Amino acid sequence: MTIAIRRDRWGISHVEALDRLDAFEAQGWVAADDRFWQMDADRIKAQGRWAEIVGSKGAKEDAFFRRMRLTNKCKNDWSLLAPETKEMTEAYAKGVNRWLKEQADQLPEEYQYHGLPPESWEPWHCLAVYKIRHVFMGTLHRKLWRGHLLATCGPEVVEAMQGNINDDSVIASFDNPTLDLLSGLPEVLKANSELLEALVDIDGGSNSWAIHGSRTSSGMPLLAGDPHRGIEFPNVYHQFHMKCPEFNAIGLAFPGVPGFPHFGHNDDVAWCITHGMADDTDVFVESTDLDQVEWETELLTVRGEGDYEVYCGSTERGPVVIGDPAENMALSLAWTGLAGTDTTFDALIPMLKASSCKKLEDAVACWVIPVNNVLSADTQGHISFKIRGRVIERPEANRWIPVAGESASSWTDLEPVAFDQLPGVTDPPEGYLVTANNRPSNSGPYISLDFAGSARFDRISQLLETLPAASLSDMERIHGDVVSLRAPDIVDSLLTHASKFTHPWAEWLLNSLANWNNEMSKSSIEAAMYAVIRRRWCESVGERLGVSAPSFGAPGWPSAEAASRMLADAALVLLSDHKHALIPGLETEDDLDHALSACIDETLTELQLRLGDDRETWTWGRLHRMFSPHFMASLIQEAHHLHPPVDTCPGDSDTVRCGSVIPERGERASAASVARYAFDLDDWDKSGWVVPHGVSGVRGSGHDLDQRQAWLECALLPMVFSDKGVREAEVSYFEL
């Protein structure tokens, strides 16, 4: 049976098959052709075997996944999938293995730097790849962080750092037994600091928006957005198009996973997501039950060092993942991806076949991980928003910090919130929908404490309000917007409270910020000064609270990098909400004046040292550089040349065009848009997309970096879809 594959000038494959199983086989073959080493690396990580490639640097991470029993969980979940879902993964695996057999002597360059040969792809590996890409997008780090804050700084600071969360005060629930419970955490976390550093996931958030035809130039909806993650090479998403009698769909897939879980469209409906920021993880401090755990050992192989035993066991709450049971204290974990059966993959085929927004939402009723904000638009003219995923409501204290390992804390008897109770809306009167990791509703079931601030949501809404007849070019302009709506509050605090500075250029700095347009553009001098002042303020807050350097990554912290991100968010909330009096040494307005003035003086001195005395050259582009590390090359020196080049990146975490930083790394851009897309329901061929590098993960292939310039310019490349469009764009043709 012939499967036709046409590649366009960007190397993107457009498949035409006689049935759906052939289409999924082709998707597996093409994904392997473009990204096999990436797929292989993800499944190896999920199995807790990364140290076999990178040595001791991967051992702690491997031990964590072994303790989670992630492999067993994926196999069990696969066995319980619907028959047609299993067939889909089997067809996908068939395509991967077909490629692997054909290319056995021409494997990607990465295999030259380690001795682990690729194994055959098994259907359950698809679930493993998907889980490994989402396991740390939850609240593990934030709960460890707040537990340390509570023990160190007290409940008032912890609560204030969350800003306005529309919940009743929880201070009363943080009683002495809770503080006693947390007193033992520092030593547990200190002993596992390398592990916690390895488990950092750089998730910068996402944007998406849907515009009703009443507000577009064509009279039909537009759907657009961009996911934000750590910028890595190869890129997390893979562009692909497949057609068969049952469906015709195009989108951004995960290499190793069939279908289009997050972004795509078929003949009738388009869909996209942003991270729902759900509280999907509980952390339990285990002590009394540890002696009842039935411990088993697994052998962990570390390249160049041999085999080591890993003790694995679970309490009724979940697997013990952090700590040493011999010390009579450890941490166990409950995660929605482990609790109950994960039926996420059962949604993938129904999504491809959905004929309307309503049918699309029906298709994802079985979704489990992660919780997403789904936007959709259909050719009938509707736009819709719906939260999908497993939401489990727990006691209020569990939302904030690690809690006692008691039977009452177990999820065993808890039922997920029913799908029809999760927030949703169709065809709103405003004529548009926006999601940007913000709180979706002030009512309904509890989702999380940890939503993003409103800056990106407000800015996109602001821009859409000005568009009575939106077009695709407007979508590109919104993608590239770098106005920060958070900056005015912070600048206002400086202008209002800072007067005791000593640096001779301080007045110039304040005058510059007073007249700034709040754009985080590459050429902006004000953006550079604003960014460094922000970091300096956050560092000073951490020092005053006793939770900052030099103890980053030491007792009580998740890791230096994760802690610095959370501290930065919290410190800015304290400043914007006028809660500085909770910070030791900043009880009065005079104290605040001295602190902010010191940040100004330090910023000017730092910029002189870093960029020189010519203030005209102090641009954001010189500070804000985007690294796109190849995640194996970062650990194996011989493969260092696989890293892509470094480029200037505008924006920051509060702008639509994301360029998030990890304060511990300075102003280096660590997360940004890992794809941009705009679906035009008037004419699918007018739709566009772009990724940071290219469709291929093979360095030097010609399609590994060929989209980079368009991505840097915030331009969209053609997303051809119709038979005519595909044939006109065809550069190469072959058959499987």
pLDDT in tens, 78-107: 999 999 999 999 999 999 999 999 998 999
Write out the DSSP string of 603-637. HHHHHHHHH-S-GGG--HHHH-EE---BTTTTT-G
User: Would you say residue 323 has pLDDT above 90?
Assistant: no
User: In this predicted structure, what is the pLDDT of residue 554?
Assistant: 39
Confidence class of residue 550 from pLDDT cuts 50, 70 and 90? very low
Domain that holds residue 540: 487-626
pLDDT tens digit string along 264-274? 999 999 999 99
Tokens, residue 7: 């590649």
User: In this predicted structure, what is the pLDDT of residue 205?
Assistant: 77
Confidence class of residue 278 from pLDDT cuts 50, 70 and 90? very high
User: In this predicted structure, what is the pLDDT of residue 106?
Assistant: 92
User: Would you say residue 201 has pLDDT above 90?
Assistant: no
Task: List Cα–Cα distances, 681 to 220, 221, 271, 376, 571, in angstroms.
Answer: 6, 6, 11, 11, 43
Question: Domain for residue 605, yes or no?
Answer: yes
User: Would you say residue 177 has pLDDT above 60?
Assistant: no
Question: Domain for residue 24, yes or no?
Answer: no
Among 33, 30, 197, 170, which Cα is nearest to 103's?
33
How much of the chain is helix, strand and coil, in % rounded to 5?
40, 20, 40
More confident site: 420 or 407: 420
User: In this predicted structure, what is the pLDDT of residue 161?
Assistant: 78
User: Would you say residue 186 has pLDDT above 60?
Assistant: no
More confident site: 561 or 519: 519
Mean pLDDT over 176-187 rounds to 54
**Would strands 372-378 and 269-275 be described as parallel, antiparallel, or unpaired?**
antiparallel
The percentage of the chain sitting over the pLDDT mark of 90, rounded to a whole number, equals: 73
Task: List Cα–Cα distances, 640 to 26, 631, 636, in angstroms.
Answer: 32, 10, 7
* Structure-token match 């804000």, residue found: 624
**Would strands 688-690 and 717-718 be described as parallel, antiparallel, or unpaired?**
antiparallel
Confidence class of residue 182 from pLDDT cuts 50, 70 and 90? low
Helix axes 70-79, 59-68, angle to 10 degrees: 40
pTM here is 0.95
* Cα–Cα distance, 555 to 186 (Å, whole number): 4
Give the H/E segment covering residue 491: helix 487-497
User: In this predicted structure, what is the pLDDT of residue 553?
Assistant: 37
Minimum mean pLDDT range among 39-43, 119-123, 131-135, 528-532: 131-135
Question: Domain for residue 227, yes or no?
Answer: no
Tokens, residue 67: 């303790």
Confidence class of residue 610 from pLDDT cuts 50, 70 and 90? very high
User: In this predicted structure, what is the pLDDT of residue 398?
Assistant: 85
* Cα–Cα distance, 378 to 354 (Å, whole number): 10
The percentage of the chain sitting over the pLDDT mark of 70, rounded to a whole number, equals: 92
User: In this predicted structure, what is the pLDDT of residue 110?
Assistant: 95
Confidence class of residue 144 from pLDDT cuts 50, 70 and 90? confident
Mean pLDDT over 415-429 rounds to 96
User: In this predicted structure, what is the pLDDT of residue 170?
Assistant: 53
Question: Domain for residue 524, yes or no?
Answer: yes
Distance in angstroms between the alpha carbons of the first and the last residue of the chain: 8
- Give me the chain's average pLDDT, please: 91
Among 345, 321, 301, 327, which Cα is nearest to 128's?
345
Mean pLDDT over 204-229 rounds to 95
> What φ, ψ does residue 340 adopt, rounded to 5°?
75, -175
User: In this predicted structure, what is the pLDDT of residue 187?
Assistant: 57
Tell me, what CATH number does 614's domain have?
Answer: 1.10.1400.10
Q: Which of 79, 169, 173, 206 is catalytic?
A: 206
User: Would you say residue 528 has pLDDT above 50?
Assistant: yes
* Cα–Cα distance, 403 to 406 (Å, whole number): 9
Question: Domain for residue 513, yes or no?
Answer: yes
More confident site: 146 or 74: 74
pLDDT tens digit string along 6-19? 999 999 999 999 99
More confident site: 266 or 187: 266
Question: Domain for residue 115, yes or no?
Answer: no
Confidence class of residue 463 from pLDDT cuts 50, 70 and 90? very high
Question: Domain for residue 36, yes or no?
Answer: no
User: In this predicted structure, what is the pLDDT of residue 682?
Assistant: 98
Of 168-182, 326-340, 429-443, highest mean pLDDT: 429-443
Our answer to whether residue 206 is catalytic in this structure is yes
Question: Domain for residue 410, yes or no?
Answer: no
User: In this predicted structure, what is the pLDDT of residue 184?
Assistant: 56
* Cα–Cα distance, 26 to 7 (Å, whole number): 13
User: In this predicted structure, what is the pLDDT of residue 159?
Assistant: 80
User: In this predicted structure, what is the pLDDT of residue 366?
Assistant: 98
User: In this predicted structure, what is the pLDDT of residue 188?
Assistant: 57
Mean pLDDT over 323-351 rounds to 90
User: Would you say residue 374 has pLDDT above 80?
Assistant: yes
* Structure-token match 């004929």, residue found: 355
User: Would you say residue 230 has pLDDT above 90?
Assistant: no
Task: List Cα–Cα distances, 43 to 47, 128, 340, in angstroms.
Answer: 6, 6, 22
Q: With b meaning 16 or more CB within 10 Å and e meaning fewer, what string describes 703-725?
A: bbbbbbebbbebebbbbbbeeeb
User: Would you say residue 557 has pLDDT above 60?
Assistant: no
Confidence class of residue 196 from pLDDT cuts 50, 70 and 90? low
Cβ atoms of residues 436 and 457 within 8 Å: yes
| Number of domains observed in the structure of the chain | 1
User: Would you say residue 438 has pLDDT above 60?
Assistant: yes
Sign of CA dihedral 133, 139, 142, 148: negative
More confident site: 347 or 632: 347
Among 34, 74, 16, which Cα is nearest to 691's?
34
